[in-house]
Each structure stands twice: as C-alpha cells, then as structure tokens.
Structure 1
Amino acid sequence: MEKLLTAKERAWRAKHPDWISDHFYMGEFEYSAVAVANGLDNKPVPGAQKAIRHLVKNLLEPLRKKSGLSLYISSGYRCPELNALVGGVLDSQHLTGEAVDVFTGGSARLLEILEEEHLNFDQAIFYRRKKFMHLSLKLKGKNRRQIIII
C-alpha cells in the first residue's frame, strides 16, 4: 500500500499539472540537461504526447506499481536536434515518444516483472554497467517483446 502524499509533496504536484498517471508527469519526458544547455525546445509534439501517455499507462505505471520501485527517467522524448546531440540513432523511438530510459541502479527486477506480468513492450534493453534500462512500447503496430542485455 502506498503512503499518502505529504503537504510538501501535494504542493510540488500542484505546480506540475501535467500528470499522466499516479507516478509520472509529462515534464519528466520533456526535460533534458543537454537540451537546456543547448537552448533547445524539447517539448513533445502532440503525436509524441499521445505516445508518451500510452507508454505510461500501459508499461511504466504497471511496472512501477508491480515493482514498488521508483522509476527515474534519465531520457524521455527527444526532438531531432537533441537526439543528434546525444548520439541517438536516426530512427530512435525517443523521437516519437515511444521510448524512455530509466535508472535501475543495476537491478534486473524490471526485466523479471516484464516477463512475470506478460506486459506488452517493444524493447527492453538493460545496460548493466550504466545502470539503466531502455524501455519502449509502440503506439501502433506489433511490439517485438525484444530483451537485450548489454
């Protein structure tokens, strides 16, 4: 059972009205230190916002609730300029809002939950040394359920 929000947490949440679910808000997918440092507007376009909402509702929120772990987003949506700056591939799902990188602390627990709960996903790439996981879910089309451990 989750704890009730403190007054400080409620106040913080009130300043961030773009909540998608109990644990995620749109600003987490938009923020990038690289974008800020380079003066880029990384606000997701409407189609990407729709894909982000789909990703949160159908993958991230269920993972968060099943694991009980906080999922810290290190990279969400990327505008084309940001994607190029960070060395993303040209067809990165980050460009469409269908992918997110989350800090895992090196734990493979999220992979276990993906398999145990039969959650739909396109890719789960676990970067053991870097301690994060790339997760994606297509808005349209068949998801591959591809797991890669690096």
Structure 2
Amino acid sequence: MQISKYFTERESTVSATGERLKIKNIPSRDERDNILYTASRMDIIREYLGIPLIVLSWFRCEELNTAVKGSKTSAHRFGMAVDVYSNKMTSKDIYNKLIEAQTKEIIQFDQLIYYPKQNFVHIGFKLNKDQERKMYFVNK
C-alpha cells in the first residue's frame, strides 16, 4: 500500500535482519503517524534528486533496533529516519547533493550521514523543523 507518492508501507518496515530473526516490526499508531510524516519529507528529497531510492531501513521496533545494535535514541525507533541508496546515483553523490540542497534551503533534515563502507545514506528528521540540527558527516 502506498503511504506517499513514492514510498510504500512495506518499505517503511523492511528489514533483512528482522526477516532473518522473525521479528515483527509493527509500528504503533504514533509511530505510523511519524512514518507518514517522514514519507512526506522523503518525497521532497526523491523529487529533488529525480531518481528512485531503495530503502534499507526506516522504522525499527525496539526489538529490531536492539538486534541491529542501533542507538537507543535512534530516529529509526520512531520512524523518523531512513537509510537509502540508489542504482541511479552513488550514495556519495546523494549525500553531496542533499548537502548542497540544504545550503540553498531547498531541503532540510536533522541528520545526514554517509556510510561509504556500507554504501548508503542515513536521513533523519524531527517533527519540529525548528529543532532540526542540519548536521551532516561521513561515518568511516
């Protein structure tokens, strides 16, 4: 089921680790609201980049977050962060384009992290845009 112009409900809960460990990654009502909010923000990013994005991780229930050794305060826990890559653009180029877009005030995010070894980009948001730190870095 589509939850936004470009993203599906399945993408918001997908997890290779969750499937392997048979963890039911089901969001609460509040977490689902956060996922819908994040999807609307991700649609803007998708439009700006002009390429399909492949979701590696989005929402993580507590059990799944623990299984992947995620931070207890991870935005993934609340459906407010997405890890993506694309077959049409390198993850490094996605990262650089999003930094450029933020500098031009076209796109805003709380956190943007490029993971070169794993080849993906983490994009995190906050419900209150005024609280977004607009921080970015490479995780080596």
1:19 aligns with 2:2: yes
Root-mean-square deviation (CA), in Å?
Answer: 1.7
Gaps of 5+ in 1: 1-17
- How far apart, CA to CA, are the structure 2 residues paired with 1:109 and 1:54? 21
Give the TM-score normalised by the residue count of structure 2: 0.85
Deviations 1:80-130 (A, max 9, x none): 111111110111110001011001433323442332453121100011232
Give the TM-score normalised by the residue count of structure 1: 0.80
Counterparts of 1:62-81 in structure 2, within 5 Å, are 62-81=44-63
Question: Is residue 106–residue 129 contact of structure 1 (8 Å, CA) maintained in 2?
Answer: no
1:56 aligns with 2:39: yes
Residue of structure 1 in register with 2:108 after alignment: 120
4+ residue segments displaced more than 4 Å? none
Residue of structure 2 in register with 1:146 after alignment: 135
Query: For residue 30 of structure 2, what is the amino acid of its counterpart?
Result: G
Residue of structure 1 in register with 2:93 after alignment: 108
Gaps of 5+ in 2: none
- How far apart, CA to CA, are the structure 2 residues paired with 1:49 and 1:139? 13
Query: Identity of paired residues, percent?
Result: 29
Counterpart selection for 2:15 from 13, 32, 38? 32
Select the structure of larger CA radius of gyration: 1
